[in-house]
Amino acid sequence: MKGEIGSKQREGLTTQNAVKIDAETKIIATKRQGEGKKEEVKVKTEVQIFENQKAADVAEANAELATKKAGWAQLAEVESAKAVALREAEL
C-alpha cells in the first residue's frame, strides 16, 4: 500500500477495524452485565428460599412446642385430679 491511495486504504481499514472492535467490546460488556444481573437475581432468590425455609422451621418448632405444652397442661390436670382424689380418700 504505497502512495496516497494506499494511505487512504490503510486509514479506512484502521477506522473499520477500530469501529468493529468497539462494537464487539460493547456487545461483550452488555453480555457481561446481563450475566451479572442473572447471578444477582439467582443469589437473591437463593437467599429468599433460605429465609423462607428458616421461617418454616421456626414455625414448625413453635407448633411442636405448643403441642407439647398443651400435652403437659393436660397431664398436669390429670395429675392434679389424682392428687385431689387421693387426698379426699385419705380424709
pLDDT tens track for 30-71: 999 999 999 999 999 999 999 999 999 999 999 999 888 888
Q: Which helix (H) or strand (E) holds 5?
A: helix 3-90
- Residue-level pLDDT at 83: 81
CB-facing half-sphere around the CA of 56: CA atoms within 13 A: 6
- Residue-level pLDDT at 1: 55
Q: Is the pLDDT of residue 78 over 90?
A: no
- Residue-level pLDDT at 63: 92
pLDDT tens track for 8-34: 999 999 999 999 999 999 999 999 999
Whether this model's pTM surpasses 0.75: no
What residue type is 50 in one-letter code?
F
> Which of these, 91, 72, 20, lies nearest to 12 by C-alpha position?
20
- For cell 429468599, the residue is 48
Contact between 21 and 27 under an 8 Å Cβ cutoff? The reply is no
- Residue-level pLDDT at 21: 96
Q: Which helix (H) or strand (E) holds 63?
A: helix 3-90
